[in-house]
Amino acid sequence: MTAQPGGGRSQYPAFRELPTLPDSPERHAWDVWGRDDQVGCMNFAGPDQVRQALMTVSEGKVVSLSLPLNEPAPGLFPKRSPFRHTILMGSHGRDDRLDGFFPQFSSQWDGLRHVRYRQYGFWGGRQDEAIDSRGELGVEHWSRRGVVTRGVLVDVKGFRERRGSVLAPNERYPLRPEHLDEVLAAQGSVLRQGDVVLIRTGWLEWYLDLSEEERAGLQGSVGQGPGALACPGLDAHQETAEWLWDHRVAGVASDNPALEALPVDKSVGFFHYRLIPLLGMAVGEFWNLAAIAADCAGLGRFEFLLMSAVMDVPGGVGSPANAYAVL
């Protein structure tokens, strides 16, 4: 039993109590729920957390947190092209078909199959054989248990604007734990076990206001080197992973392309590698947070019931978020 942020005791080990990998300072949570676990930090959001989330609903207002599936257009990642939508006409009605559909093109979850940590493997230390032959870690496991819990918006953009400063959407700015704590304190928000944390940087709003030509110029720019896309996002150091784990976060999503600040600092490492394969944490990208931010500011509270219908695709690597906040 260890203390957790916000007071109280936790049945789970603190981040600094987690074991490290052989010949590596990186910590992993593979034994917290057993190495055959399929859902990772979604385990934090149990029946008690669902009941608490339902108690946040007072207005009955539903707010979508997802982009249309054909946005952001024309897309930022060269290997993820927009789908092709075909309407099939018949004498008694219509049907339609999607071709070339990439589940991680738009507002999305990265599943536990998405990335591995070097030679140590995927979540639970699994190697490719377990992934390929036994069909483990697919997004269907999240889908079948359901993603229903409390969502908490960390409105960095709104916080900065209320204080007369701007978080430049096209400049790299790593958001460290102390930045997140400052925003949460100003909002009067306290994180609880099982929360999904949504971080609004303002990047997506900036992108959606660009011209077609300006958007096209950003296609394929996520990476390194001259012309690489720069944006604010989470700091990728181990301390940020520690902050998320010690708050018992079930998932974390942002309105930017990669959750973390871009471009990736090679000396620090890719934050996905710390969160997904080592901690089993759900990572969301391209979430549409402008509308919920406005409603939360109007109500003076930044917590809500969050529901996300993950696609039941056996062996799926990722899924559209299909997410709603209920205020």
Indicate the pLDDT class of residue 2, thresholds 50, 70 and 90.
low
Let me know if residue 1 belongs to a domain: no
- Whether the predicted pLDDT of 179 surpasses 80: yes
Residue 83 per-residue DSSP state? P
Least confident interval from 15-24, 88-97, 173-182, 303-312: 88-97
Residue 23: beta bridge partners? none
Give mean pLDDT, residues 49-63.
98
| Closest by Cα among 55, 282, 253 to 154 | 253
Residue 6 has pLDDT above 60, yes or no: no
- 162 by Cβ neighbours in 10 Å (0-12 / 13-18 / 19+) ranks as exposed
- % residues pLDDT > 70 (the chain): 97
Length of the chain: 327
For residue 322, the model assigns a pLDDT of 98
Contact 249, 44 (CB under 8 A): yes
Q: Residue 121 in contact with residue 277, Cβ under 8 Å?
A: yes
Convert the pLDDT of each residue in 83-124 to its tens digit. 898 999 988 899 899 999 999 999 999 999 999 999 999 999
Looking at the structure of the chain, the number of domains it has is 1
Task: Indicate the Cα dihedral angle 106, 107, 113, 115, nearest 10°.
Answer: 80
Mean pLDDT of all residues in 77-83? 84
- Strand 323-326 relative to strand 62-64, pairing: antiparallel
- Please determine, for residue 1, whether its predicted confidence score (pLDDT) is greater than 80: no
Helix/strand/coil (H/E/C) assignment for every residue in 90-113 = ECCEEEEEEECCCCCCCCEEECCC
Dihedral of alpha carbons 219, 222, 227, 231, sign:
positive
pLDDT at 138: 96
Dist CA 223 CA 197 (whole Å)? 25
> CA of 294: how far to CAs of 209, 231, 288, 321, in Å?
17, 22, 12, 20
Residue 293 forms part of a structural domain: yes
pLDDT in tens, 118-170: 999 999 999 999 898 888 999 999 999 999 999 999 999 999 999 999 999 99
210 in any annotated domain:
yes
Banded model confidence at residue 234, pLDDT cuts 50, 70, 90: very high
Is residue 12, in this structure, part of any structural domain at all? no
The DSSP secondary-structure symbol of 292 reads H
pLDDT on residue 140: 97
Binned at pLDDT 50, 70 and 90, residue 3 comes out as: low
Residue 2 lies in a domain: no
For residue 292, being part of any structural domain is answered with: yes
CATH number at residue 134: 3.50.30.50
pLDDT at site 221 = 81
Q: What is the mean pLDDT of the chain?
A: 94
Domain that residue 133 falls in: 21-326
Whether 11 is in a domain gets the answer: no
Q: What is the pLDDT of residues 8-31, one digit of tens each?
A: 457 999 999 999 999 999 999 999
Residue 276 inside a domain? The answer is yes
